Amino acid sequence: MKSRSWTIVRYTVAVAVLLVWTFPLLWTVLTSFKTPSEVFTYPPHFFFHPTLENYRQALVGYSSIVPNLGISAVIATSTTVLTMLISIPAAYALARRRFRGRYAVGLYVLTTQMLPPIGLIIPYFLIFNRIGWSDTYQALIAIYLTFAIPFAIWLMISFFEDVPLEMEEAAYLDRCGRFRTLWHVILPQVRGGIMVTLLFVFMSSWNEFLFAIVIGGSHIRTVTAAMYNFISVEQTLWGPLTAAACITMLPVVIVGMLAQKHIVSGLSLGAVKGGGRTR
Amino acid sequence: MSSSSTLELENVCKKHGSVQILHDVSLRVEPGEFFSLLGPSGSGKTSTLRIVAGLETTTSGSVRIDGDDVTRLAPGERDVAMVFQSYALYPHMTVFDNIAFPLRMVNTSKDAIRRQVFEAAERVQLSGYLERKPGQLSGGQQQRVALARAIVRHPRLFLLDEPLSNLDAKLRVETRVHIRNLQRSLGVTTLYVTHDQEEAMALSDRMAVFLDGRVVQVGTPEEIFERPRTAGVAAFIGNPPMNLVPAKLTGSELKLGESTYRVSSGDGSRERDVFVGLRPSDLRLDADGTPTRVVLVEVLGEQTLLDVYLGGTLCRVRVPGKHRLATDSTVNVTLRPETFHLFDAGSGERIEQNIHFSMA
């Protein structure tokens, strides 16, 4: 009996925490289907006549976010692809090779993660103005790379360390070169970890707002910055704003659900097997 | 069957920072020979194997296969195959793909790959498992996949690094026989690293005993067992190994504890310290022997191990049959001088002597 009441308590607490956790999301989703008058009704109705007008406005209205979705997609995809191209070999090298300065590189990678981004905004702004990169794709991609690459390297080192060195040596003995070994032997085994990293990198650049609003401009405006269009001095268009937010969330949620299997296996990768060593 | 290769190591040294791992290792392995590198862990046997494979570099010295200097060649350029202690199978590939991997790396045609993989799998009795992943196989089967992957491309040298150490005792003995037969039928020159002397004895044509980064003795298993070249080898070979009892050797006499033995051919009258090597199985329990106290008794079914003090040193005696003796009881142990091995206490080198028993 005791264990049963304990179960009830546990579930109650879990549901309560979950409700608090998901409330902002719930509010956003509900608001996106409300008419302007419904939005301001107090107390709010949980049941109301839903409308798609907000979505119409966000997608094909005066300040449609569709071009901005495209811009965000270009920036997030470029950031992710470049980050993976650079970080995979870098993480592999840091995991496997002993060389001078290995420790310093590791420390640098970690400390960049501790820097508060806000401290860098003004220097970045000045530098990009000077070299004529303000309001360009490359400016935002460059900034995102400076955060994403160290993060990705740091995350992936441990995945590579978990692959036994002997497996690589076996491949070398069988005339498999270093890059082919990485491709055919190592990468298939850290696939889960790479998926996790890729997803985190994509998400963080897709969701980024601070640099997007300061460094981006009227021309290169990511979708997170574009949502700001619905907030003006006179009023905030809550309906279209929340509809835009839901649309923006969608790709990340879909990709996350598709990659869930890999994420779980990726996160538990380090826990299952040891045996990684460096030379 | 390809013609077999020779392997030569000449004055191979290996340093890791200030630590010298290998001291002047020189070996010659004859074509088709099954050659073991035997030694305790940290003695340099695995480093030697890895140097032959090209996975580690030498500090000085050279490695030659069939007379070609391969010291500076990359692992893949040496045409050697290796079975790792952990097997190092590729977990994301099927057994077929694991075995086919070395062939694919040298652009073999699809038909040839199929034929050779089937042949190799047949040899290690894995034909029914080709579609499985390594994770779905038992330890013994995984080990055979590793063997098949090594033999499939007919390498010049076959290198095995403690391939049996992850198997249970029964399987180890079975696989040992299998490896020996496989090596014989392929005729491939084989270098085999193990710390298990029984394994080395059972498998090897010849073997090298490694101690502290040096090759101390090279010979057939019988030679090494019967005539260990140093006290170090004597203390390592045999299960349990030889007892080494300090004694004094003069021109004509050997003084061991209370007993004195006559030496037939001395080298002058100078007294020197020696170790007398007494193999546990050469000691006898005998009513005429020296009385000594039993410290420990281990009854191992067909034989019994006794720990006793001889000449002030704790020694092991191996006697056939079961002897349920009480600790602290007294037994009479006979030392038979014709079975003595003598080693110089300073250098550890073996001293060849004819020793005759004399009533002192």
Residues of A in Cβ contact (< 8 Å) with B165: none
Q: Do B76 and A166 touch (CB under 8 A)?
A: no
If you average pLDDT over residues B274-297, what whole number do you get?
A: 89
Q: Least CB-CB distance to A185: which of B75, B84, B90?
A: B90
CB pairs under 8 A between A and B: 59
Q: Least CB-CB distance to A167: which of B54, B77, B88?
A: B88
Going by C-beta distance under 8 Å and a sequence separation of 6 or more, which residues neighbour residue B322?
B299, B301, B304
If you average pLDDT over residues B197-222, what whole number do you get?
A: 95
If you average pLDDT over residues A205-232, what whole number do you get?
A: 88
pLDDT for the residue numbered A155: 87
pLDDT for the residue numbered B1: 42
User: How many Cβ atoms are within 10 Å of A116's Cβ, its own excluded?
Assistant: 7
Which has more pLDDT, A83 or A258? Answer: A83
Going by C-beta distance under 8 Å and a sequence separation of 6 or more, which residues neighbour residue B267?
B251
pLDDT for the residue numbered A276: 37
Q: Does B81 touch chain A (CB under 8 A)?
A: yes
pLDDT for the residue numbered A115: 80
With a cut of 90, say whether residue B268 has pLDDT above it.
no
Residues of A in Cβ contact (< 8 Å) with B92: 188-189
Best probe of the A interface among B87, B90, B93, B97, by most A CBs < 10 A, is B90
> What pLDDT, in 10s, does the model give residues A100-156?
777 887 788 778 778 888 888 889 999 999 999 888 999 999 999 988 998 898 889
Residues of B in Cβ contact (< 8 Å) with A188: 90, 92
For residue A18 the two structure tokens come to: 């979950």
> What pLDDT, in 10s, does the model give residues B56-108?
999 999 999 999 999 999 999 999 999 999 999 999 899 999 999 999 998 88
With a cut of 60, say whether residue B309 has pLDDT above it.
yes
Q: Which residue of A has its CA nearest to B53?
A: A173
Evaluate whether A96 touches A133 at the Cβ level (below 8 Å): no
Q: Given 3-state DSSP classes, what are the helix, strand and coil percentages for chain B, each rounded to the nearest 5?
A: 25, 35, 35
Least Cα separation, residue A272 to chain B (angstroms) = 14
Residues of A in Cβ contact (< 8 Å) with B101: 171, 174, 176
With a cut of 60, say whether residue B221 has pLDDT above it.
yes
Q: What is the mean pLDDT of chain B?
A: 90
* Distance from C-alpha of A148 to C-alpha of A146, rounded to nearest angstrom: 6
Helix pair angle (A191-207, A238-258), 10° resolution: 170
> What pLDDT, in 10s, does the model give residues A143-191?
999 889 988 988 898 889 888 899 999 999 999 988 899 999 999 988 8
> Nearest to residue B35, comparing CAs of B186, B191, B187?
B191
Least confident of A244-258, B28-42, B254-268, B294-308: B254-268
> What pLDDT, in 10s, does the model give residues B10-35?
999 999 888 999 999 999 999 999 99
To the question of domain A24-39+50-272 being in CATH 1.10.3720.10, the answer is yes
Least Cα separation, residue A220 to chain B (angstroms) = 43
Least Cα separation, residue A279 to chain B (angstroms) = 10
Q: Do B81 and A173 touch (CB under 8 A)?
A: yes
pLDDT for the residue numbered A109: 77
**Cβ burial, residue B82 (10 Å; 0-12/13-18/19+):** buried
pLDDT for the residue numbered B209: 96
**Cβ burial, residue A200 (10 Å; 0-12/13-18/19+):** middle
If you average pLDDT over residues B267-293, what whole number do you get?
A: 85
Q: Do B101 and A189 touch (CB under 8 A)?
A: no
Q: Which CATH class is domain B233-248+276-351?
A: mainly beta
pLDDT for the residue numbered A279: 36
C-alpha A275: how far from chain center: 30
B355-356 vs B19-29, strand pairing mode: unpaired
Best probe of the B interface among A98, A163, A173, A273, by most B CBs < 10 A, is A173
pLDDT for the residue numbered B163: 92
pLDDT for the residue numbered B356: 67
Q: Least CB-CB distance to B88: which of A166, A175, A188?
A: A166
Best probe of the A interface among B82, B143, B162, by most A CBs < 10 A, is B82
Q: Do B81 and A164 touch (CB under 8 A)?
A: no
Residues of B in Cβ contact (< 8 Å) with A172: 54-55, 74-76
Best probe of the B interface among A172, A175, A184, by most B CBs < 10 A, is A175
Q: Which residue of A has its CA nearest to B149?
A: A174
pLDDT for the residue numbered B301: 84
* Distance from C-alpha of A142 to C-alpha of A173, rounded to nearest angstrom: 40
User: How many Cβ atoms are within 10 Å of A113's Cβ, its own excluded?
Assistant: 10
> Nearest to residue B27, comparing CAs of B65, B57, B74, B83?
B65
Q: Does B94 touch chain A (CB under 8 A)?
A: no
Residues of B in Cβ contact (< 8 Å) with A175: 76-77, 102, 105-106
User: How many Cβ atoms are within 10 Å of B136's Cβ, its own excluded?
Assistant: 12
With a cut of 70, say whether residue A278 has pLDDT above it.
no
Q: Does B105 touch chain A (CB under 8 A)?
A: yes
Q: Do A173 and B92 touch (CB under 8 A)?
A: no
Q: Which residue of B has its CA nearest to A169?
A: B55
For residue A270, what pLDDT band results from cuts at 50, 70 and 90? very low
Q: Do A174 and B80 touch (CB under 8 A)?
A: no
With a cut of 60, say whether residue A269 has pLDDT above it.
no
Least Cα separation, residue A148 to chain B (angstroms) = 29
Q: Least CB-CB distance to A174: which of B86, B89, B102?
A: B102
Q: Which residue of B has its CA nearest to A171?
A: B102
**Cβ burial, residue B9 (10 Å; 0-12/13-18/19+):** buried
Q: Do B88 and A177 touch (CB under 8 A)?
A: no
Task: Tell me the whole-structure pTM to 2 decimals.
Answer: 0.80
pLDDT for the residue numbered A271: 38
* Distance from C-alpha of B75 to C-alpha of B50, rounded to nearest angstrom: 9
Evaluate whether A213 touches A227 at the Cβ level (below 8 Å): no
Q: Does B357 touch chain A (CB under 8 A)?
A: no
pLDDT for the residue numbered B270: 75
With a cut of 70, say whether residue B357 has pLDDT above it.
no
Least Cα separation, residue B82 to chain A (angstroms) = 7
Q: Least CB-CB distance to A175: which of B84, B90, B106?
A: B106
Residues of B in Cβ contact (< 8 Å) with A164: 86, 88
C-alpha A120: how far from chain center: 20
Q: What is the mean pLDDT of chain A?
A: 86
Q: Is the ipTM of this complex over 0.85?
A: no
* Distance from C-alpha of B91 to C-alpha of A14, rounded to nearest angstrom: 39
Share of chain A above pLDDT 70, in %: 93
Least confident of A6-20, A203-217, B78-92, B259-273: B259-273
> What pLDDT, in 10s, does the model give residues B318-346?
998 888 888 888 899 988 888 899 999 98
Q: Please name the residues between 7 and 66 in chain B that touch chain A, using a CB distance below 8 Å.
A: 53-55
If you average pLDDT over residues A19-25, what whole number do you get?
A: 90
Q: Do A172 and B76 touch (CB under 8 A)?
A: yes
Q: Do A174 and B55 touch (CB under 8 A)?
A: no
If you average pLDDT over residues B163-191, what whole number do you get?
A: 92
Domain ranges across chain B? 7-230, 233-248+276-351
For residue A272, what pLDDT band results from cuts at 50, 70 and 90? very low
> Nearest to residue B259, comparing CAs of B281, B288, B223?
B288
**Assigned CATH topology for domain B7-230:** Rossmann fold (3.40.50)
Strand (E) or helix (H) holding B177 = helix B169-186
Q: Does B153 touch chain A (CB under 8 A)?
A: yes
Evaluate whether B313 touches B243 at the Cβ level (below 8 Å): yes
Share of chain B above pLDDT 70, in %: 96
Going by C-beta distance under 8 Å and a sequence separation of 6 or more, which residues neighbour residue A17?
none
